[in-house]
Structure 1
Amino acid sequence: MERTKLLTIAVVGLVLLNLIMIGLLLFGPAPLLGHGGGNRPARVIIKRLRFDASQQRTYRRLVTEHQRQTRELALESARLHQAYYELLVAEQPDSVQANRLSQRIGTNQRAQTQLNFAHFGQIKALCRPDQQADFARLVTELTQLFGQQQPPGPGPPYTNNVKNNPGQP
């Protein structure tokens, strides 16, 4: 009985943490490349790439769309993690379901990385020839610019594999 109580407390704690994370994503500080207080990366990119007014407008639209897609993936990640950890409530967690959810979590993380890679590909395409060297320098600094986030990695452009496999739990 003591083990069940401990697992229940752990699951409740994880669910609360997930709810807090979802709340922060929806109502909290600005997203990664957000406007307002969280727009430091956007300002740095605009300055380093020497974007003119037209490029800045296009870039801001790209950022808005990227934020929307990032938010969707983050919410799906939170939902998947919550379902994954809720398996611990059972006396004997379903290992098949745990493996499925683990795979979907990995697919979601891959989609996030591919989304970022595609986003920076769009930024590169926005650059004029005289800005390409600045972009190349910026790419080498992405990890510092975005903190502990994963830098864009190799792979095909973003596809939301989670939504493309609705039959999977």
Structure 2
Amino acid sequence: MKYFNKKQTGYTLIEIMIAMVIISIIVGGLIMGFKMLKSGANVDREAKKVSLIQASLVKYTTNNVDTQGIDTTTVINLKSVPDETILGGNKITNRFGGETTIAPDTLTNANDAINITNNGMNKEQCIEYGKTGGASYEVIKANGTTVKARTETKVNETINAACIVGTTNSVSFIFGKG
């Protein structure tokens, strides 16, 4: 009687499936990491843009009695934002796919403050972006909820509940005139 010595050549189906699962997990992790990195970069860039707008408006309002009449067009005319963010001559786009708006606001007396609002953020961007304001702004609101009052130096934990799942979040930075 003859016995054949069979040697396995190639990989079994189970080995191939295990390799595919491992590769899928690695690729998925890389994609998620890239998205988080990009989202964080958008938050940082938008925070810097808003800081430039604030500095420009503080200087502009130094000699003005109130902030009535200050709006998005004022900021565009002051050349406080990069040209590539201007849409149609009277709108400022943001890196979240939404819009940046500027309007008069009230801290103590009518029109004694300026409100810079960014919208179009998902929940994570809303939380991270809201926290970038810190002491630079007197009041910070997320979706209309005050998450930093004038007496606070940083954003409080209510921002986690104020920012909702979806891409409809807005954050407002409010500061007094110059």
Give the TM-score category using the shorter length: 0.3 to 0.5
Indicate the structure with greater strand content: 2
- Flag the structure with larger Rg: 2
Query: What TM-score comes out, normalization by structure 2 length?
Result: 0.31
* Bigger relative contact order (CA 8 A; separation at least 6): 1
Indicate the structure with greater helix content: 1
Query: What TM-score comes out, normalization by structure 1 length?
Result: 0.32
